[in-house]
Structure 1
Amino acid sequence: MSLVYSSYYCLTSMLKALVTIIVFLIIVCVQDGLSDDAFYGGTTHVRVYNGMNDSIPVHLHCRSKDDDLGQHVLAVGEHQEWSFGTRVFGNTLFWCTMDAGNVHASFEIYNAKTEVATCNAQCNRILNNDGGYFFNEYSGYWEKRLSWHVTKTPSF
């Protein structure tokens, strides 16, 4: 009887230790993932191109709730790019203000709630004279999501 009790006690002690180690490892992994707003290392890259005609520069200022990416002046063909860790609850939102020729516009450039259906790791956008286009990596085509009409400002 004491051998059975001793074996039972040893087995339950080992099981408790194993469960404690597993719980500790799970907590460490989750905390490590949350510390840089990433969960299991997922990273998203957003790239915004200036696709204007007539050599029109784009003054672009993008930000999120946590990050201000600053003002960038993009010549035709240039791009601005940034990366961030995928958030656990998918609530990342970046928006931009743009000045190009005669147009001043503010718009969402990345919204995790809607982008899940169009891009995963690389989210490409292009700002053209007639609007903003977002590349759908799953269907392989550009979707027009923003509309404007940029004309070249006359120089005197």
Structure 2
Amino acid sequence: MISFNGHVVLMVLLLITQCKGGLLVEKCHLRITNDLGRGSNPTLHRKSRDDDLGEHTLPYRGYFKFAFRPNFAGTTLYYCSFKWKGGFHYFDIYIELTHRDICGSSCWWVVRPNGPCLRDSQTRQYDMCEKWHN
């Protein structure tokens, strides 16, 4: 009879929770570009269900990017708020069940006054636009 010690069992559990379909879950790369207009340097605040990832100033035409591994349960959610002169808005920048199929491992967004637009990986155009949540 084979005996497992606690460390081996823990290691196997960690590997299982980081795998999907037998492979390591691929990192997802998110990029957000400011297209709110000249002089608009919003404060971008990123959050997930579990973590507050902080605030960053996003200059006009500048971008911010980050990467993460979606969770095993398929429930990864990131949202961003934007605060600038004349506005405060937010949207869901990554919903696993929606965005994984649309943009794969690279979700590129451009933020405009009317709302965020996601880049279509086929046409390379930012034409999949959403309205702000508020």
Correspondence for 2:50: 66
Label 1:67 to 1:33 Cα distance change in 2 as closer, same or farther (>3 A).
farther
The residue identity in structure 2 corresponding to 1:98 is: F
* Displacement after TM superposition at 1:57 (Å): 0.7
Partners in 1 of 2:25 and 2:33 — Cα distance? 26
* Displacement after TM superposition at 1:81 (Å): 1.4
Structure 2 counterparts to residues 33-112 of structure 1, below 5 A: 33-34=16-17, 38-39=18-19, 40-112=24-96
Partners in 2 of 1:42 and 1:29 — Cα distance? 19
* Displacement after TM superposition at 1:138 (Å): 4.3
Partners in 2 of 1:47 and 1:33 — Cα distance? 28
Partners in 1 of 2:49 and 2:113 — Cα distance? 28
Q: What stretches of structure 2 of length at least 5 have no aligned partner?
A: none
- The reply on whether 1:134 has 2:115 as its aligned counterpart is no
| Structure with greater helix share of residues | 1
* Displacement after TM superposition at 1:51 (Å): 1.4
Pick from 1, 15, 24 the counterpart of residue 32 of structure 1.
15
TM-score (norm 2): 0.77
The answer to whether the 8 Å contact 2:89/2:132 transfers is: no
Number of equivalent positions: 125
The residue identity in structure 2 corresponding to 1:76 is: Y
* Displacement after TM superposition at 1:118 (Å): 1.1
Q: What stretches of structure 1 of length at least 5 have no aligned partner?
A: 1-15, 149-156
Correspondence for 1:123: 107
Q: Which runs of structure 1 show a deviation greater than 6 angstroms over 4 or more consecutive aligned residues?
A: none
TM-score (norm 1): 0.68
- The reply on whether 1:144 has 2:107 as its aligned counterpart is no
How big is the alpha-carbon RMSD for the aligned residues of Structure 1 and Structure 2?
Answer: 2.7
Label 1:107 to 1:41 Cα distance change in 2 as closer, same or farther (>3 A).
closer
Give the 3-state SS of the residue equivalent to 2:50 in structure 1.
coil
Partners in 2 of 1:141 and 1:30 — Cα distance? 41
The residue identity in structure 2 corresponding to 1:106 is: Y
* Displacement after TM superposition at 1:52 (Å): 2.1
Q: Which has the higher contact order (CA 8 A, sep 6+)?
A: 2
Give the 3-state SS of the residue equivalent to 1:88 in structure 2.
coil
The answer to whether the 8 Å contact 1:126/1:133 transfers is: yes
